[in-house]
Structure 1
């Protein structure tokens, strides 16, 4: 298990013998929830009452990913991570933990040991992730409700950092990565879910491609474009996809009505999978 830092005073947190709470030398205490996670996001550090993905978004994403539509991405992440033979890994923005669970399963098949932290600002996501993992992965995964803006881990403590469709915080990522550590990021490319966008939006605007982290601070070590086609034949799976993305809220009522009427759609998954190393 990795060492944790107190989010209030940054002192080291120690887990008690019962594994029910974490406490620092200054007396700040954080209880472990019954599902197996610890909330290290103090009220004063929240920007809203319930930050991050809602419970509905978390459940929709879980159902969609459980159907294995994004399995090629899970396999690609596992390949990149495990070929580097890391010992410690942070999934910054872990959501419901799908990719981390897939990664751990493949690590077990390869008989590779991983010590992992799954972190997300959404308590619903972390609660779901911890509950799904159960006790079998407890020694290898520490589930945290926390923010990428204040990662409760010591400096130079992580070999590999994952940020999958997430919100990178360059300074914090640099701080927690060990010298020579890797940042692996996944971001949507220009054709990602284009067919769905063409249905729900009256006009699809293309955004200029740019790196997700500052070039002054990070060196691009590897860049791969992962593109594959998948078909949704169930209306509920289409709705799950919509509900797990910002498109549900960005689309007009007319666009949402068009999506609700869909019974089948063939979609393109188009993603950038990039590996960075620190340049500072």
Structure 2
């Protein structure tokens, strides 16, 4: 398997295609965006930020990296890679965006896929700490600080989009995917990490985040429930899991203290993998 540079970035200010010029990306209007020494480019205009440092913090990114690299979610990564390879043709490159890539774990798993596939990989996240981590670990993919609400990507230039436990913006996904391109979306099921939630919350809600119908502009190709037990031995792994999820901030101080006192925890992983085709 090979990875080639992603060349379909668009200016976040006027939507014009960006061209790489040594250490910057530039559009015909003259807007220029420098490539950081770590290899990523910042394409989130300051006027579109909701805070000074949006997205996951440096600590959350580090916790996610440790947890995922330990292999706890490997069955999810393997299922995502398999779904992304559906319809792949020998010799035809696939352009893939991980929209909300975090520190890039799922993109790196694609790179370990079948030898006959050539990937153009783009990791995008609103957190500069996540993108920085991804760029440090993988120099073959392209890395961008940006927003799903205004993807800095040329229209109809992508073959695949991954959206892992993220914030899908389907109108943007429809715009940047080619007809026939696939959106691979993973959402939490109603029992996902239920045992942890029962510890940190006084009451556990049972609703699922599964998508009940195909979003506008897509048709459903497949849906797969992925469910498996997970045992965490040691306080550090439990702390990393909590820190990489929104539960860290939603839980009360008492709930977080109960989790911090644990030395081991058996959990249920319950997610749904949807594959939607751009019509």
TM-score tier (shorter): over 0.9
Tell me which residue corresponds to 1:101.
108
The alpha-carbon distance between structure 1 residues 130 and 209, as it changes in their structure 2 partners (threshold 3 A), is closer
Answer yes or no: is 1:27 the counterpart of 2:30. Answer: yes
Tell me which residue corresponds to 2:196.
196
* Residues 221, 275 of structure 1: 8 Å contact kept: yes
* Residues 76, 226 of structure 2: 8 Å contact kept: yes
User: Does the residue aligned with 1:173 lie in a helix, a strand or coil?
Assistant: helix
CA distance in 1, matches of 2:247, 2:165: 14
Q: Given the two structures, how large is their TM-score scaled by the length of structure 2?
A: 0.93
User: Does the residue aligned with 1:130 lie in a helix, a strand or coil?
Assistant: helix
Between Structure 1 and Structure 2, the one with more helix by share is 1
Residues 81-230 of structure 1 mapped to structure 2, 5 A cutoff: 81-85=84-88, 87-107=94-114, 110-134=115-139, 137=140, 141-207=141-207, 210-211=210-211, 215-230=215-230
**1:196-246 CA distance string (max 9 Å, x none):** 111111110112555177644332210000001111001101000000001
> What is the count of residue pairs matched by the alignment?
270
- Which 4+ runs in 1 deviate beyond 6 A? none
Tell me which residue corresponds to 2:39.
36
CA distance in 2, matches of 1:37, 1:212: 36
When structure 1 is superposed on structure 2, of 266-275 and 80-89 the one drifting more is 80-89
* Residues 191, 206 of structure 2: 8 Å contact kept: no
Question: Which of these residues, 70, 74, 78, is aligned with residue 75 of structure 1?
Answer: 78
Alpha-carbon RMSD? 1.4
CA distance in 1, matches of 2:227, 2:162: 20
Tell me which residue corresponds to 1:62.
65
* Residues 95, 160 of structure 2: 8 Å contact kept: yes
**1:147-205 CA distance string (max 9 Å, x none):** 01111111110011111111011110000000111111000001100011111111101
CA distance in 2, matches of 1:264, 1:208: 26
CA distance in 2, matches of 1:45, 1:160: 25
The alpha-carbon distance between structure 1 residues 112 and 229, as it changes in their structure 2 partners (threshold 3 A), is same
Tell me which residue corresponds to 2:20.
15
* Residues 170, 213 of structure 1: 8 Å contact kept: no
User: Does the residue aligned with 2:156 lie in a helix, a strand or coil?
Assistant: coil
Unaligned runs of 5+ in 2: 1-5
Deviation of the 1:25 alpha carbon: 1.5
CA distance in 2, matches of 1:210, 1:68: 24
User: Does the residue aligned with 1:12 lie in a helix, a strand or coil?
Assistant: coil
* Residues 7, 19 of structure 2: 8 Å contact kept: no
CA distance in 2, matches of 1:168, 1:22: 26
Q: Given the two structures, how large is their TM-score scaled by the length of structure 1?
A: 0.93
